[in-house]
Homo-oligomer: A and B are copies of this chain.
Amino acid sequence: MTVEAESLTATFTALADPTRRAILARLTRGEATVGQLAEPFDVSLPAISKHVKVLQKAGLIEQTRRAQWRSCRLRPEPLRDVVTWMEQYRDFLGDSLDRLDQYLADLQKGDRP
């Protein structure tokens, strides 16, 4: 398997869990510690810690240590890789996806926010 394919596997595996998707959604509202991430869920802290690890391995989040807190932050690359992967279904999903094409072209030009 190619490198990209392996990372896609890790990304989709990470996204396949509802708790992990909820963690990602939470992180769009800003950084959070593992404890803060765990709060809304009815599972133990170790369980969340493991989810965070899976997300980290997939490159979807980045953890920085500040004192005894681990602050988690979203990383965009794997989601962009998913968009890139979806590219091959452009014709299939419809011509409107050409707009996604344009988006990807902009990305390649380094046209970032």
Bound CA–CA A102/B101 (angstroms): 13
Residue of A88, A99, A107 with most chain B CB atoms under a 10 A cut-off: A99
Q: In this assembly, does A37 line the interface, its C-beta being within 8 Å of a C-beta of chain B?
A: no
Q: Do B13 and A89 have beta carbons less than 8 Å apart?
A: no
Chain A interface residue bracket vs B:
35 or more
Q: Mark A1-27, 1 if CB is under 8 A from B, else 0.
A: 100010011001101111001001100
Report B-chain residues with C-beta under 8 Å of the C-beta of A92.
28, 74, 76, 79
Where the two chains meet, the residues of A that have a C-beta atom closer than 8 Å to any C-beta of B are 1, 5, 8-9, 12-13, 15-18, 21, 24-25, 28, 74, 76, 79-80, 82-83, 85-86, 88-89, 91-97, 99-100, 102-103, 106-107, 111-113
